[in-house]
Amino acid sequence: MSYDKDIYFVNLPDNQVAEACMQKIDDYFSFLTRSGQLALWKTTYNAYYNSEIVGGQIYKTGSQNEYFNLNVNHFRSVLTTLKGMIEQQKLAFDSKATNTDVKSQAQAILSNGLLEYYAKEKSLEDYTSEGLESAIVLSEGWIFSGWNVQAGKIYGYHPETNAPIYEGDIVYQSYPPTQVVRDVTKRKPSENNWYILIDFVNKWDLMEQFPEYRAQLLDISNDNFENNKYRFYAAKHMEASNDDVPVFTLFHKKCPSVPNGKEIKFVNKDILLGNGALPYRHIPLRAITTSKHLASNFGYTLAYDLVIIQEALNITDSVIMTNLATYGCQNIISTRGANVSAESLSGGLNLIEYTPVEGGAPPAGLNLAEVPAPLFNHRGSLVQDIQLVSGINAVSRGDMSSLGKTMSGSAMALIQNMAIQYANSLQKSYIRTLGDIATDTIMILRDFAKVPRIAMISGIANRPYMKEFTGDDLDKINRVEIDVGNAMAQTLAGRVDLAEKYIQNGWAKSPQEYTQVLTTGRLDAVIEGAQRINLQIRQENEDLANGKGAIAIATDPHVEHIIGHSGLMDGLDARHNPDLMNAATAHVQEHINFLKTVDPMLLTILKQPVMQMPPPMPMGGPSGAPEMLDAAKPVEQKAQEINQPNLPESPIPLQ
């Protein structure tokens, strides 16, 4: 080692830093080998892909190939069931803005649409699925989000070299724990200051990008046995050489000793491809773990507990299989001198004659293939242990035979839910990591997406449309959270129940909205209209507060606008602002006037109340109808209708 030990290794000059980084990689793999961690990962990996490794067949072992090995892979079945349970939960992105103004809320909607686009079109879902599987089998799955300057469309050419300039785009990559080098002396992953990621790149591509290293790259061995120490590959994948060479990228976080952070890319100690400041706000590398180890930098997975039971099950099945394969074809035992030939026993429907021998028994089948019942009982116990340790019950695996015929669907659903709760720690890690990756995605777009670009995002009624944006269109978003969908919406019965409730409450207003809720459980079509109205009201409130005014039209949802604008006048500041109060009151009156004057049929179609007064009745009422009373003096008016009696005249004149 020729590098200076008195300087922090990432701050070494270019001619020494790659060698120091290579030493860190060697130290990491030395620890993995010495501690047994690498052997443990290989054990769980080989058990998970056992059928592929053994060629999908019963294989023989022993000095004379006398043992028949049968591996029924409950280990993989349970782990894939666990993965499916985690991924079946419906997740939705929920972007959080710095405040609640209209621009921020509109950016949140755009952010959610972009994340859906990157999840599907840019394979983020695939990489998180790979990371989840790696976490289940190997205790850790890592996902990196980075910016590739050579991705996207060409938007110009370099004025001197005429090389194409790309708009750039986000790229994702998943890594197993062997390809994420770190400081193993740290107790928690959060304490790591640096990581070294190991990728495999075609060396001919590297020669085009770095022609100054062409000779050194040509000299690098293509020996896959050497390169695959960084990867989990079955032996058959290691036979042929290829043109890929390992490329190492170190990321160091920003800290007092490295204030700008570091990104260093190299192939070996002599080929340094780049050395500069960390271009990201933080290292955009996230880990999914089944559970955290209390005193280790690595995760812990239930696969460690299950693989031992699976090995015992393999031995048990192999003993049974060996016995059946060796003695399954029945032998015949006969007394010497009984004159029974092998030819007479071949085939079927033969009349076999024999000579009785004094003291001997007639020929009979020798049954050596019978397997003791305790052996089968032990096998059943091992399968049960795998399910108990993992928390993945028979219902989750599709086996209803052990539950009886009388168990109700609700009881089965409860058992299924218990299995999901058992996997709660993994689900939390998965959701948290997905939220962190989504936040990284938005932050990277904010910092690097300077050129307008187009993405296809979901619009009205979940129909896709093209949207142009830049990073500035996301400057109000500061984090992304993950909403877990309703588990009931994952079943047809649950979706039917939800759809009927939306109809009953008037939330689903069209057959299309009902159908979408029924088929997908998504509420986009149901809430999209209300969301759009809410943004419009917020925008008008901001315009009124800024003195710009607002305009009402006949087809507005007037009741919602009146309630929304009334909220603007609730604050004490607004009440002491005559201009704002007058403008808001006048605008509310516009909506009231529309409710009084718009065609009642149109208001009915828009589900708005009709406030128009009926036309006044003519005096005397319509023909054949009684005359209306005077609302002012109804008693006096009615009294006048009473016929007074004819009284006699007084003989005495009145004075």
Three-state SS for 578? helix
pLDDT one-digit tens code per residue, 521-551: 555 555 667 777 887 888 888 888 888 888 9
In angstroms, how far is CA 535 from the centroid of its own chain? 28
Determine the Cα–Cα distance for residues 135 and 189; give it in Å rounded to an integer: 14
Residue 318's pLDDT is what? Answer: 93
In angstroms, how far is CA 68 from the centroid of its own chain? 42
Residue 159's pLDDT band, with cuts at 50, 70 and 90, is confident
Q: What is the mean pLDDT of residues 81-95?
A: 84
Which tokens hold the place of 99?
Answer: 């405040």
pLDDT one-digit tens code per residue, 283-296: 999 999 988 888 88
Residue 515's pLDDT is what? Answer: 63
Q: What is the mean pLDDT of residues 231-250?
A: 72
- Of the two residues 624 and 480, the one the predictor is more confident about is 480
Residue 491's pLDDT is what? Answer: 53
Helix, strand, coil in percent for the chain, rounding step 5? 50, 15, 35
Q: Do residues 113 and 467 make contact, with C-beta atoms less than 8 angstroms apart?
A: yes
In angstroms, how far is CA 417 from the centroid of its own chain? 19
Q: At what angle do helices 124-138 and 303-327 cross, to 10 degrees?
A: 70
Residue 598's pLDDT is what? Answer: 87
Residue 629's pLDDT band, with cuts at 50, 70 and 90, is very low
Q: Do residues 521 and 558 make contact, with C-beta atoms less than 8 angstroms apart?
A: no
In angstroms, how far is CA 84 from the centroid of its own chain? 11
Instruction: Say whether pLDDT at 341 is over 70.
Output: yes
Q: At what angle do helices 511-520 and 492-504 cross, to 10 degrees?
A: 150
Instruction: Say whether pLDDT at 315 is over 80.
Output: yes
Q: Do residues 20 and 8 make contact, with C-beta atoms less than 8 angstroms apart?
A: no
Residue 369's pLDDT is what? Answer: 81
Residue 635's pLDDT is what? Answer: 46
Residue with tokens 């393999």: 314
Residue 463's pLDDT is what? Answer: 46
| E strand or H helix that includes residue 69 | strand 67-69
Weakest-pLDDT range from 2-11, 217-226, 253-262, 512-521: 512-521
Of 177, 104, 171, nearest in space to 139 by CA: 177
Of 442, 42, 38, 24, nearest in space to 249 by CA: 24
Backbone angles phi, psi at 498, to 5 degrees: -60, -45
Instruction: Say whether pLDDT at 197 is over 50.
Output: yes
* Model pTM above 0.85: no
Using a pLDDT cut of 90, give the percent of the chain over it.
36
Backbone angles phi, psi at 249, to 5 degrees: -130, 115
Weakest-pLDDT range from 19-28, 535-544, 646-655: 646-655
Weakest-pLDDT range from 349-353, 485-489, 513-517, 575-579: 485-489
pLDDT one-digit tens code per residue, 548-563: 888 999 999 999 999 9
Max mean pLDDT range (228-237, 250-259, 560-569): 250-259
Which tokens hold the place of 241?
Answer: 């050489």
Q: What is the mean pLDDT of residues 505-517?
A: 62
Residue 391's pLDDT is what? Answer: 79
Q: Strand pairing partners for 92?
A: 483
Determine the Cα–Cα distance for residues 570 and 275; give it in Å rounded to an integer: 57
Determine the Cα–Cα distance for residues 588 and 585; give it in Å rounded to an integer: 5
pLDDT one-digit tens code per residue, 7-18: 999 999 999 999
Residue with tokens 């009982």: 377
Q: Residue 212: count other Cβ atoms within 10 Å of its Cβ.
A: 8
**What does DSSP assign to residue 515?**
H
Residue 393's pLDDT band, with cuts at 50, 70 and 90, is low
pLDDT one-digit tens code per residue, 409-440: 555 555 555 556 667 778 888 999 999 999 99
| Summary mean pLDDT of the chain | 81
Q: Which spans in 487-629 are helix H? A: 492-504, 511-520, 524-545, 558-568, 572-575, 578-597, 600-605
Instruction: Say whether pLDDT at 346 is over 80.
Output: no
Residue 655's pLDDT is what? Answer: 47
Determine the Cα–Cα distance for residues 433 and 457; give it in Å rounded to an integer: 23
Q: Do residues 363 and 333 make contact, with C-beta atoms less than 8 angstroms apart?
A: yes
Backbone angles phi, psi at 253, to 5 degrees: -70, 165
Q: Output the CA–CA distances (angstroms, integers) from residue 415 to 3, 395, 421, 490, in the order listed.
A: 60, 7, 10, 16
Q: Do residues 74 and 326 make contact, with C-beta atoms less than 8 angstroms apart?
A: no
Q: What is the DSSP string of 194-247?
A: EEEEEEEEEHHHHHHH-GGGHHHHHHS---HHHHGGGS---GGGGSS--SEEEE
10 Å CB burial of residue 253 (0-12, 13-18, 19+) is middle
In angstroms, how far is CA 290 from the centroid of its own chain? 15
Q: What is the mean pLDDT of residues 335-342?
A: 81
Q: What is the mean pLDDT of residues 506-530?
A: 60
pLDDT one-digit tens code per residue, 202-226: 999 999 999 999 999 998 876 655 6
Q: Residue 118: count other Cβ atoms within 10 Å of its Cβ.
A: 24
Q: Output the CA–CA distances (angstroms, integers) from residue 239 to 217, 224, 226, 327, 384, in the order listed.
A: 21, 7, 11, 38, 39
Determine the Cα–Cα distance for residues 475 and 457; give it in Å rounded to an integer: 19
Weakest-pLDDT range from 152-156, 185-189, 581-585, 637-641: 637-641
Q: Output the CA–CA distances (angstroms, integers) from residue 444 to 99, 169, 196, 197, 581, in the order listed.
A: 21, 9, 20, 19, 43
Q: How many Cα atoms occupy the beta-carbon half-sphere of 562 within 13 Å?
A: 13
Q: Residue 139: count other Cβ atoms within 10 Å of its Cβ.
A: 28
Q: Output the CA–CA distances (angstroms, integers) from residue 606 to 56, 109, 460, 516, 554, in the order listed.
A: 64, 25, 18, 22, 10
Residue 143's pLDDT is what? Answer: 97
Residue 366's pLDDT is what? Answer: 78
